[in-house]
Structure 1
């Protein structure tokens, strides 16, 4: 009697977690593309509905304070609930707010009041969703073993690509199906972003982080921050603002300086894109040329962001920083002079080619320096302050345009950026960007209620 030879099984391949970065980037692309298309269509629909050019400005002012509060509540939510889940719910709300516009137009007819109501509903979806999605970036990089610095360059490239594609797609949709019906595309993109985010592992958005998830998977899956007490939304928003301000501006000098430069970029560039250049081209009876200038800027930013993502570690961070700031100063000075159209195109291209690296660098510093425990409240506060800073800057610029003319306003903005550049190149906290000892790891901020 012979014994059969034993069958040997092949050893199983080691388990490798599925990469999350592609799905995360696809979700961001869907959301950004929808917002980009809506940003072109909604002002035109509002103007066609009300017949009043001041309606858009009035709508922004009415929504400014609620948006600020909603941003703070969004920060509190992302420090309390699973960030992946918050992003999904927010995208669904955003899709509903946009889809209701064509529905209301068909049933009752759009009016200014409907724009206010649905604009607030959209803010409830957009702003917390933006905070939650931003909060996932470090977790995505950690899970996939990616460099956060390079990944920020990749996300910046995606933003620039969407800015180029979005307006052109909006023009095509408006010509094909009409302005109001084109909003269905925006709603579909927001819903697609929610569905793609749903494919990400739930543990990716756990507030407690990877360590807590390993120790207590049930709590991480529920998505609750066990270290934080249950509080009402009003007190949660106030605490989020207080804690976020401390994290952003009091706990770390590098983070504070990065935030100040980011606000300067938002205010100066927002005023150029949202007021000075439109007024200039409208006065020249050639408003269609504005799109070419903005496209040149976006194309330059796309190219420089891709280059930075590929070559980030070839140069020192301080070198990228100096080159980017210097090029931006030249580009903004060119825009501030409001020269002939070819020179405006060249200045916009120069600005875009220079802005990509510093945008990625500032994003890297902000994500890298915010402790994971405070990421929701800090990013919620940042988004709220950014939403408030841009309208304030545009309003101040409009006063200068009204009183002294668009040329003076453009030069004033260029002068403000020159001052920001001089400060940014000489401030101590941004001089030693490659020296780890000069910037030790930040210590998580512990709220007063949790101190022993």
Structure 2
């Protein structure tokens, strides 16, 4: 597959930098919230778990409704409102912290409301990109987005920890708020072409249309089901990794942190080398690296049952970042090429629900399996799931795609191309 590299439009660069700022702010605030909970409220593990639920539940509750809004409203407005909501909640947290009246319940509520803004941005961003760049620039543009996300995942949590240590917990919220405001200022100058004037129809009809489109298009169905399966396996591992690393692999907290950070490094490396990969492989071949990376990562971690070493754990998390970021770049581009622009918000919301809906399923499976078969059973189950999703994608129409033009042809011919 050839990869066309050309200068991206200024409008995309503006929204891209806004996305970088927004994601950096999100990662700083996500890391700062549990720090505040522990340092200010001496929160228990159960309370920090509640805080994590508050940050993730909006993805399940609001992704579909937000997808409808993204397809019905001006997408620039949705982006600005979503980030304004996050900025306001962060500013409120600062005020309550400084005046020493913040309670744990308020921190949970602020996290929940801020996450609603994150949901809206996450659904709207993939819908905006195809309106700003040509089809042959989609992979280049999505690589740009993923590089920014990788940088935020690596630097955001570390920045929050340093700020909280040096200047106090509220300083991390100050930085996150400032980044949000800068992102909003970039969006205020953004010019997004309006969607086509399709007739306004009943909400349930719009939802059925998007669900039917996503399920009846084999390539999209493969992407949705693979995202669901991947995240089940990923959260089985996430649920037990720290306990397994400390108790079985005898890793120190520092080495556990290195292992977790390795996924961000893998993402950055994967995004950096993706142009070379897409030049040498077909579009479907590049996408297959995501499931292949997931299976390789699970296999590396399962190998620690025989050879308990932290090196294999770090390799595992590196692969968990490397393969999936290439999957994200390629499949987001495919989704954007296949989906009519007026339906992009709703189809993006289906992916968000599949991704985040799988996470509590994976965590619940880990809890159940660990009761009977311990962490060993969890690692073997996750490896089997990653093997199954690799086989599923390898035999699917997605693996046979040659180019974005072939992907777009699935609109007219659902058999793929």
**Normalised-by-shorter TM-score class:** 0.7 to 0.9
> Which residue of 2 is the match for residue 163 of structure 1?
153
The structure where helix makes up a greater share of residues is: 2
> Which residue of 1 is the match for residue 181 of structure 2?
191
Asked if 1:281 is matched to 2:245, the reply is yes
Partners of 1:141 and 1:202 lie apart in 2 by 11
Instruction: Say if 1:47 and 1:55, in contact at 8 Å, map to a contact too.
Output: no
Given the two structures, how large is their TM-score scaled by the length of structure 1?
A: 0.80
How do 1:211-230 residues align onto structure 2 when only pairs under 5 Å count?
227-229=199-201
> Which residue of 1 is the match for residue 3 of structure 2?
none
Moved more, 314-323 or 302-311: 314-323
Q: CA offsets per residue over residues 6-55 of structure 1, 9 Å max, x none?
A: xxxxxxxxxx9962222121111001101111222212323442522112
Q: Give SS of 1:20's match.
A: helix
> Which residue of 1 is the match for residue 35 of structure 2?
44
> Which residue of 2 is the match for residue 432 of structure 1?
400
> Which residue of 2 is the match for residue 298 of structure 1?
264
Q: Give SS of 2:253's match.
A: coil
Partners of 2:340 and 2:350 lie apart in 1 by 14
Moved more, 72-81 or 293-302: 293-302
Partners of 2:59 and 2:336 lie apart in 1 by 23
Instruction: Say if 1:335 and 1:347, in contact at 8 Å, map to a contact too.
Output: yes
Partners of 1:302 and 1:63 lie apart in 2 by 24
TM-fit CA distance, 1:228: 1.3
Structure with the greater alpha carbon radius of gyration: 1
- CA pair 390-27 structure 1, distance change in 2 beyond 3 A: same
Number of equivalent positions:
400
Asked if 1:201 is matched to 2:191, the reply is yes
> Which residue of 1 is the match for residue 103 of structure 2?
111
Asked if 1:388 is matched to 2:354, the reply is no
Instruction: Say if 1:281 and 1:287, in contact at 8 Å, map to a contact too.
Output: no
Partners of 2:259 and 2:210 lie apart in 1 by 36
How do 1:264-343 residues align onto structure 2 when only pairs under 5 Å count?
264-273=229-238, 275-283=239-247, 284=250, 286-338=252-304, 339-343=308-312
Given the two structures, how large is their TM-score scaled by the length of structure 2?
A: 0.86
- CA pair 343-282 structure 1, distance change in 2 beyond 3 A: closer
How do 1:18-417 residues align onto structure 2 when only pairs under 5 Å count?
19-48=10-39, 49=41, 51-61=43-53, 67-107=59-99, 109-142=101-134, 147-203=137-193, 206-208=194-196, 227-229=199-201, 236=203, 238=204, 241-250=207-216, 252-273=217-238, 275-283=239-247, 284=250, 286-338=252-304, 339-417=308-386
Instruction: Return 5+ residue gaps in structure 2 as ranges.
Output: 1-6
Give the aligned CA root-mean-square deviation in angstroms. Answer: 2.8
Instruction: Return 5+ residue gaps in structure 1 as ranges.
Output: 1-15, 209-224, 445-452
